[in-house]
Amino acid sequence: MSSFSEKGKQESTVWGNLTGRDKRRCTVGGAAAGRGKRSIIPAVVLLLVVFLMGTLFPPVFDGRAAAAAGFSDLQGHWAATEILAAAEAGYIKGYPDGAFRPGREITRAEFATVINSYFGFKAPENPAGFKDVASKDWYFPEIGKATAAGYFQGYPGDVFRPGAPITRQEVAGVLGKILSLGETAGVEVAAAGGELNFTDAGQIGNWARPAVIGLASRGLFVGYDDGKFRPLQAVTRAEAAVLVSRVGDHLRERIKTDSPYLQVAGDIVNVRTGPSQSFGVLGKVKEQAVLAAETFCNGWYRVGHQGQAGWIAGWLVQECAVPPRDNPPPAPVEPEGPGNPGSPENPGQPVEPGTLHIDVLYGEGALKVCLRAGTDTEDYSWEEKQAPQRLLIAVPGVESLNSPHRLVVDRGGLAQVISQLNDDGAVVELEFAAFPAPVGYSVEEKGPGCLEIVVPYQLLVIDVEETEELVAVHLQATAPLECETFRLRNPQRVVMDFPNLHLNPELADWEKDFVASFLQKLRLGQFSTDVVRLVADLNAAASYEIIPGTKNNMLTLELQKASVQGKLVCLDPGHGGSDPGAVGPTGLREKDVNLAIAQQTAALLRAAGMEVMMTREGDYYVDLSTRAVMANDHGAAIFVSIHANAALNNPAANGTSTYTYDGWQKEERAYLSALLQAELVNALGLRNIGIFREDFAVLRNTQMPAALVEVAFISNPAEEQRLAGSDFQERVANALVQAITRYFTE
């Protein structure tokens, strides 16, 4: 078996890589000094102390002193101005030895710390937990702030990977969240008649494309002189300082130009210590209070509140370019506890007779409009209108409104809520967004004087284009479309699950038959309470591709006859660099065999029309988490990790084996593993050890069907000699290609 560090259940960390680099620097320095033990030892100790303080702890060098005196390693650096400005502002710091180290990669935890410092976030009340983030770690509170603010997320398996270098596309995703670019970025670029002009745009993960588009179109994140964006390249500390500075300048200009003032649109609205409901309540403000906007983050505004910086939800305020006339100044109120009437977070509280209060509440699977008045709901009446679609609700006996006359929603299929008084009471109009089909909703009585209109987030439109070679299924919903797509066999099906979504009543039991050679039927259904499922029943193996729409509530599923053309395969040559893997009796290193086989396999796959990405192209080390992230970010169709087995205490051990993981897409993973094992055994003629299920990191963290092959035992003298031969390596490569081809076409 290969070394435990490569395939074991523990994730390697970035500190190991950093330590390796710094140790090499220390060794070179010591050798150069070479003037006796008295001079070498103190120098090495000093370097080690500086290194350990810089890596095991976040930089703590005082930013103001640095700005005044200058960092020791910024002379002539291209980003010196931005770095010194960031240090002066206090949101990025240097090291105890007076250096900034601009070229050092910045980790995910460190980048979160920079963002948190820039915005001044306080700790949330209930920070999210991750398996690889302990409460004793220095970055525990920073990661809690970042995930609570909603601009940073973890990985599958409930891990955050705090020590992993953050890539350019990950930074784009973070900054895109902060600027709320997800929905509008693609539309803006399409309207301008342009696309991403980077020559490696195809390597940018689908999840990051809207953010990259939005940032690039604003000139906030640019590519390189050779036309590339390099989405998987790690971001340095200097680049991080420049990017945050650019985004900060953009936010200030946006606030100054578009919405320097905010008018509170809710009755009593919370001002929080951070930009989400996970943060504590700093205070409250009343309806029509006018606040000065300072900056923006992920749909929330930072405002001044009683001498402190607080955050208020963007959907609970009206943006104003100039102060509204005849409005009172900000009117804070003291917290009144859980029973505070009129709080959007505590609907259903009684209101004074003759007064109507309206709340718009957002949930994971629906939004709700709550009408509360001091009359019985049996006195309410309502009717639906079309062109445009509206719901008119008459509330008799109302003499005053305790809510804004116009509440802009623009979410979940609801455009706005308008209320006005008349001689009989009040009329409330819910105006729905324009869609090809009516938005579904329900009206429910929730006790005396309380009426609730529930608008589930719903799949609303399905259109199908069909040719002899291709079936395109266009989907549109009232909320962002997130899907989990997988394949089932016996019988063959492609399945798409849409969480936190409901099927519009007009699409209930929708299905369509086909005459295509590969497709039998498409059918829609409410798979569970909050999951919509689309199933493609196949006549034969078919290829599929998910294509994002111009808005994040639209996407297209393309189905066509099975083919290997254009399929992206991720090959993972195990080990590399400082990690040789297992070593055979004559010194053959596993890392070299793995790379040679992977390179031959890649050439054959490309010749067959497939696209190939490799987790490493040469003899260098890539940590386990990054290998999986690379495959995930590129949207690889499958992941194959190539290894040689070893049993150092049993040189007679021999044979071929394959490993799979009982996680997401379990059936597809098992199918891929079975094909790989069968083709390898058939081609190599070695003992068939079998297929095993293991919790290997590279299998657990990949989001596509993945398998790990152990070609032969490098610890067995006879099999070591085979592994060293180019003919044997070519047979292995052909077997892998045959298995991969069968996976895509059978």
Residue 195: its pLDDT value, please? Answer: 61
The domain 259-333 having CATH identifier 2.30.30.40: the answer here is: yes
Per-residue pLDDT of 351-372, as tens digits, reads: 677 888 888 887 778 889 999 8
The pLDDT score that the predictor gives to residue 200 is 86
At 672, the amino acid letter reads L
Q: Residues 49, 51, 55, 59: what is their CA dihedral angle, to the nearest 10 degrees?
A: 80
Give me the pLDDT at residue 593, please. 97
CATH topology of domain 568-745: Aminopeptidase (3.40.630)
Q: What is the mean pLDDT of residues 167-177?
A: 92
Given the DSSP bridges, would you call strands 706-713 and 638-645 parallel, antiparallel or unpaired? parallel
For residue 552, name the pLDDT band (cuts at 50, 70, 90).
confident
What is the pLDDT confidence band of residue 20, given thresholds at 50, 70 and 90? very low
Best mean pLDDT range from 225-229, 238-242, 361-365, 550-554: 238-242
pLDDT at residue 619, as a whole number: 92
The CA distance from 434 to 278, in Å, is 33
Q: Which stretch of 138-152, 543-557, 634-648, 714-728 has the lowest confidence by average pLDDT?
A: 543-557
Pick the CATH number of 355-451 from 2.40.128, 1.20.1070, 3.10.150, 2.60.40: 2.60.40
Which pLDDT belongs to residue 452? 92
Give the range with max mean pLDDT: 174-178, 284-288, 539-543.
174-178
- Higher-scoring residue by pLDDT: 729, 321: 729
Contact 669, 707 (CB under 8 A): yes
Query: Which pLDDT score is estimated for 337?
Result: 32
CATH 3.30.565.10, applies to 458-561 = no
84: helix, strand or coil:
helix
When mean pLDDT is compared over 23-27, 206-210, 562-566, 725-729, the highest value belongs to: 725-729
Which of 7-16, 116-125, 252-261 has the highest mean predicted lDDT (pLDDT)?
Answer: 116-125
Confidence of residue 585 (pLDDT cuts 50, 70, 90): very high
Confidence check: pLDDT of 10 > 70: no
Q: Is 255 exposed, middle or buried (0-12, 13-18, 19+ CB in 10 A)?
A: buried
- Of 395, 449, 445, 446, the residue nearest 417 (C-alpha): 395
* Structural element, H or E, at residue 658: strand 656-660
Which pLDDT band, with edges at 50, 70 and 90, does 473 fall under?
very high
Q: Which of 125 and 297 is assigned the larger pLDDT?
A: 297
Higher pLDDT, 255 or 512: 512
Q: State pTM to two decimals.
A: 0.51
Give the model's pLDDT for residue 548: 81
pLDDT over 90 (residue 638): yes
* More confident position, 618 or 345: 618
* Token pair recorded at residue 148: 């609570």
- Alpha carbon distance 512, 492 (integer Å): 17
Residue pLDDT, tens place only, 386-432: 989 999 999 988 888 887 888 888 889 999 999 999 988 899 999 99
Tell me which of 108 and 350 has the higher pLDDT. Answer: 108
Confidence of residue 23 (pLDDT cuts 50, 70, 90): very low
Using a 10 angstrom Cβ sphere, with 0-12 exposed, 13-18 middle and 19 or more buried, the burial of residue 579 is buried
**DSSP helix/strand/coil, 456:** strand
**376: confidence class by pLDDT, cuts 50, 70, 90:** low
Share of the chain above pLDDT 90, in %: 39
Q: For residue 52, is pLDDT > 90?
A: no
pLDDT at 9: 34
In angstroms, the CA 626 to CA 617 distance is 14
Q: Residue 377: what pLDDT?
A: 54
pLDDT of residue 351: 64
665-696 tens-digit pLDDT = 888 899 999 999 999 999 999 999 999 999 89
Listed residue (520, 470, 525, 519) closest to 496, CA to CA: 525
Identify the band that residue 324 occupies on the pLDDT scale cut at 50, 70 and 90. low
Residue from 608, 594, 561 nearest 737 by CA: 608
99-103, 276-280, 426-430, range with the lowest pLDDT? 276-280
Q: Which residue has the higher pLDDT, 305 or 149?
A: 149
458-561 and 355-451 share a CATH fold? yes
Q: What is the model's pLDDT at position 624?
A: 87
Q: 603-636 pLDDT, tens per residue?
A: 999 999 999 999 999 999 888 888 988 898 888 9
The pLDDT of residue 641: 97
Q: Is 481 left (phi over 0), alpha (psi -120 to 50) or beta?
A: beta
Domain ranges of the chain: 58-234, 259-333, 355-451, 458-561, 568-745
Q: What is the mean pLDDT of residues 233-257?
A: 88
Structure confidence at residue 598 (pLDDT):
97
